[in-house]
Amino acid sequence: PAPLADRSEAVLSRLQLLVTRKLDGLLQGDYAGLLPGPGSEAGESREYRPGDDVRRMDWPVTARTTTPHVRRTVADRELETWLALDLSASLDFGTGQWLKREVVVAAAAAITHLTVRGGNRIGAVIGTGGGASAPARRWRGGSAPAGPGVLTRLPARSGRKEAQGLLRAVAGTAIQPGRGDLGALIEMLNRPPRRRGVAVVVSDFLAPAEQWARPMRKLRVRHDVLAIEVVDPRELELPDVGVLPVVDPESGELHEVQTADPRLRQRYAEAAAAQRATIAAALRGAGAAHLRLRTDRDWLLDMVRFVAAQRHARTRGTTR
């Protein structure tokens, strides 16, 4: 509908202004990105330092000098970034300043701003629930993918105008009922194989870890991977508000919870903490950088701090 399109356009305009003001000060060069990877072209060797990627060991030089050496790599001229955006029904929820789906769109806007520079390309795959995959569609004009329960691919293109079209398509995507398949969404970034780049997965990661952990590990083999976990405070603890009706957005099931019971609230908080610890461990095991954004916090400030930490780590000889 026209009103929805107008609201999406207005939100994107505000997001672009926010992102430009806060993130431009961190950008020092055409190819600096959210995860500034070291590139893939071979360069000179240097001595190994703790934290270096052992996959870049220069074995001939190491054997010749008897001192461990790693091969420097030269940054690629163009960076290709792919977004995997989870817009399944569990993201259509929020009790803070934002809905979780709004944080997903906001994160996509920030990442796009950080990467679409100097001819860099950006593309996306979007999941809106369970169902069959949809073929790649044109998004030059910003038309949103449609259809219940689909996985949609938006081809990678360069240029700010094309990036804005991608963001309009993301913002205009309607969330569909039903359970999504996060593993299948991530797997879309593994097929077909692409040259080394940056892959960003934005989700609440509430699907069982065994569903998505293996595709994440496979993705890390070829790409620098960033996992952005979107969290709402009510997913971490329950308030004491008496009987609270709770609806599962993916199944539609309704439950009534007596939040006045302190033991129930404690068990809920403990189970939520264990769930988040499992998610963090799975992401760490997959080798992904992990950024958590909350609906009740300044998501852009958290992202700025994350970028600054990544840059600081890089200057000390590590990428994470």
**pLDDT for res 2:** 42
Residue of 111, 86, 95 whose CA lies nearest to 23? 111
Cα Rg of the chain, angstroms: 21
Torsion of CA 125, 131, 132, 135, to 10 degrees: -40
Q: In the predicted model, what is the mean pLDDT of residues 135-149?
A: 42
> pLDDT tens digits for 8-50?
566 666 766 676 666 665 544 433 445 544 555 455 678 888 8
User: Among the listed ranges 298-302, 303-307, 315-319, which one has the minimum average pLDDT value?
Assistant: 315-319
Maximum C-alpha span of the chain? 72
User: Among the listed ranges 2-11, 145-154, 233-242, 291-300, which one has the minimum average pLDDT value?
Assistant: 2-11
Domains of the chain, earliest start first = 36-74 (no CATH), 79-135+146-232+278-318 (3.40.50.410)
**56 pLDDT exceeds 50?**
yes
**pLDDT for res 33:** 46
State the Cα–Cα distance between residues 88 and 189, nearest whole angstrom: 17
Is the distance from CB of 127 to CB of 151 less than 8 angstroms?
Answer: yes
**254 pLDDT exceeds 70?**
yes
State the Cα–Cα distance between residues 184 and 35, nearest whole angstrom: 23
> pLDDT tens digits for 86-107?
998 888 888 888 889 989 999 9
Q: In the predicted model, what is the mean pLDDT of residues 190-212?
A: 89
β-bridge partners, 123: 82
DSSP 221-250: HHSEEEEEEEE-GGGT-----SEEEEE-TT
**pLDDT for res 213:** 95
Number of residues in the chain: 320
State the Cα–Cα distance between residues 127 and 103, nearest whole angstrom: 15
β-bridge partners, 82: 123, 199
**pLDDT for res 82:** 93
State the Cα–Cα distance between residues 23 and 227, nearest whole angstrom: 19
Percent over 70 (pLDDT), the chain = 72
> pLDDT tens digits for 264-293?
889 999 999 999 999 999 999 999 999 999
DSSP category for residue 144: P
- Per DSSP, the chain holds a count of helices (H) and strands (E) of 8, 10
According to the per-residue pLDDT averaged within each range, which of 39-43, 174-178, 195-199 is highest?
A: 195-199
In 10 A of CB 256, how many CB atoms? 9
State the Cα–Cα distance between residues 243 and 220, nearest whole angstrom: 44
Confidence of residue 222 (pLDDT cuts 50, 70, 90): confident
Is the distance from CB of 307 to CB of 34 less than 8 angstroms?
Answer: yes
**pLDDT for res 236:** 92
**pLDDT averaged over every residue in the chain:** 79
Confidence of residue 230 (pLDDT cuts 50, 70, 90): very high
Q: Identify the helix (H) or strand (E) that includes residue 23.
A: helix 2-23
DSSP category for residue 32: -
Pairing, β 224-231 against β 80-86: unpaired
Show the beta-strand stretches assigned E in the chain.
41-47, 69-74, 80-86, 121-127, 151-158, 198-203, 224-231, 243-247, 254-258, 289-294
* pTM (predicted TM-score): 0.75
**66 pLDDT exceeds 70?**
yes
**pLDDT for res 22:** 63
**pLDDT for res 73:** 63
**pLDDT for res 4:** 44
According to the per-residue pLDDT averaged within each range, which of 11-25, 43-57, 181-195, 220-234 is highest?
A: 220-234
